């Protein structure tokens, strides 16, 4: 292994970004709020930035990894059921009780729940001793089905309460998620996995910058609306905080029957982390801006919660291993 100083600059920058992501992403959002007046036309770039992010993510996943993951159908089905069935139903029920049926905040909570798995979960799964090929494959699979799952879930839950273009959402998700995913996996296959490593000094840091840019621009887009609802934020913040914590807990308890540390870690992070940037894109393009506020708040909470989850899991597994050693 090369010493850090001998690594290409792009790789060193990427490593630094990943290590500090729990700070960089909230700071990007806060800067977007402050500089929103200068970024009014920036939202036109977001779909292209997001498509690039999706392509780079898929570049690291081979068809073989997807096939191997499909040989573990139970963890995949459990994760998808938690993310796309249980969490949206809880979000809808809790949001309706607190804010009323058809509220844009309820839409935002459901949207946070139903959007695909977060790419950043790969980092946390790797750090916590989870199954990285499994989580990467699950993200690819979930990205492929998202053009159908997301609009269907919103339509089933809200029906006539809100009006949105079902087919337009599906088409855009196909373009910015499905197609880049297929292309990335295809390039991986054609190059026998070499494309990811060879392009990493460029694609790794630029994809992270694209991720921060998506957050920065979208935060600027909702800033005027967030400033106008200061009083309501006091009620919304604890709701989003509790819901993100619930999503992590949901994954943890849903994974317990598997009795495997790699699978438990993988399902926990997969259930807790969502593709927030995609959620903001959908919220801003198809719903009123207030619907994007709970999704944006998820950015502030999701990464710090992942850090807390990482520490709690480390303590749990250390105690369990110590107990097993004493028993032996």
**Taking the chain, what is the end-to-end CA distance rounded to the nearest angstrom?**
36
How would residue 326 be classed by pLDDT, with cut points 50, 70 and 90? Answer: low
In terms of C-beta distances under 8 Å and separation of at least 24 residues, what long-range contacts does 150-157 make, across chains too? 150/111, 150/114, 150/115, 150/116, 150/282, 153/84, 153/88, 153/110, 153/114, 154/107, 154/110, 154/111, 154/114, 157/88, 157/89, 157/92, 157/110
- Over residues 64-70, the mean pLDDT reads 81
Q: What is the pLDDT of residues 223-236, one digit of tens each?
A: 776 676 666 777 88
Give SS3 for 117: strand
User: Which tops the pLDDT comparison, 150 or 41?
Assistant: 150
User: In Å, what is the CA distance from 245 to each residue of 210, 216, 241, 297, 303?
Assistant: 27, 24, 6, 13, 11
pLDDT of 230: 66
- Over residues 148-157, the mean pLDDT reads 87
- In CATH, the architecture of 42-222+232-317 is Up-down Bundle (1.20)
Q: What is the pLDDT of residues 131-140, one digit of tens each?
A: 878 888 888 8
pLDDT > 90? residue 278? no
Q: What is the pLDDT of residues 18-34, one digit of tens each?
A: 788 778 877 887 888 88
- Over residues 163-169, the mean pLDDT reads 69
How would residue 1 be classed by pLDDT, with cut points 50, 70 and 90? Answer: very low
pLDDT > 70? residue 193? yes
- Over residues 135-155, the mean pLDDT reads 86
**Could you say which DSSP state residue 287 is in?**
S
C-alpha triplet 127, 133, 139: angle, nearest 5°: 95
Rounded to 5 degrees, φ, ψ at 183 are: -65, -45
Q: What is the pLDDT of residues 69-103, one digit of tens each?
A: 778 889 999 999 999 999 999 999 999 999 888 78
Whether residue 255 contacts residue 269, with contact meaning beta carbons closer than 8 Å, is answered with: no
How would residue 251 be classed by pLDDT, with cut points 50, 70 and 90? Answer: very high
Give SS3 for 51: helix
| Domains of the chain, residue spans | 42-222+232-317
Percent of the chain with pLDDT over 70: 90
């Amino acid at each position: 292994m090369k010493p850090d100083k001998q690594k290409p600059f792009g790789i060193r920058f990427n490593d630094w970004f990943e290590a500090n992501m729990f700070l960089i992403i909230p700071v990007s959002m806060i800067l977007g709020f402050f500089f929103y007046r200068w970024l009014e036309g920036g939202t036109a770039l977001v779909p292209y930035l997001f498509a690039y992010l999706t392509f780079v993510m898929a570049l690291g996943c081979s068809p073989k990894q997807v096939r191997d993951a499909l040989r573990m159908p139970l963890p995949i089905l459990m994760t998808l059921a938690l993310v796309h069935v249980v969490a949206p139903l809880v979000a809808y029920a809790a949001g309706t009780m607190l804010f009323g049926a058809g509220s844009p905040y309820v839409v935002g909570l459901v949207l946070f729940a139903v959007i695909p798995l977060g790419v950043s979960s790969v980092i946390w799964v790797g750090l916590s001793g989870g199954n990285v090929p499994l989580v990467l494959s699950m993200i690819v699979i979930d990205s492929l089905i998202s053009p159908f799952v997301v609009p269907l879930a919103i339509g089933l839950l809200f029906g006539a309460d809100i009006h949105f273009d079902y087919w337009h959402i599906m088409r855009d998700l196909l373009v910015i998620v499905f197609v880049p995913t297929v292309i990335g996996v295809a390039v991986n296959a054609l190059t026998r996995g070499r494309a990811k490593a060879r392009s990493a000094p460029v694609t790794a840091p630029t994809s992270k910058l694209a991720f921060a840019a998506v957050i920065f621009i979208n935060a600027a887009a909702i800033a005027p609306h967030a400033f106008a609802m200061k009083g309501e934020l006091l009620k919304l913040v604890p709701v989003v905080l509790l819901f993100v914590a619930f999503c992590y807990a949901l994954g943890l308890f849903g994974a317990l029957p598997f009795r495997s540390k790699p699978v438990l870690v993988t399902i926990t992070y997969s259930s807790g982390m969502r593709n927030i940037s995609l959620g903001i894109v959908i919220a801003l393009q198809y719903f009123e801006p207030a619907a994007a506020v709970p999704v944006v708040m998820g950015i502030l909470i999701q990464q710090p919660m992942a850090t807390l989850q990482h520490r709690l899991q480390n303590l749990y597994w250390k105690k369990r291993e110590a107990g097993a050693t004493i028993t032996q």
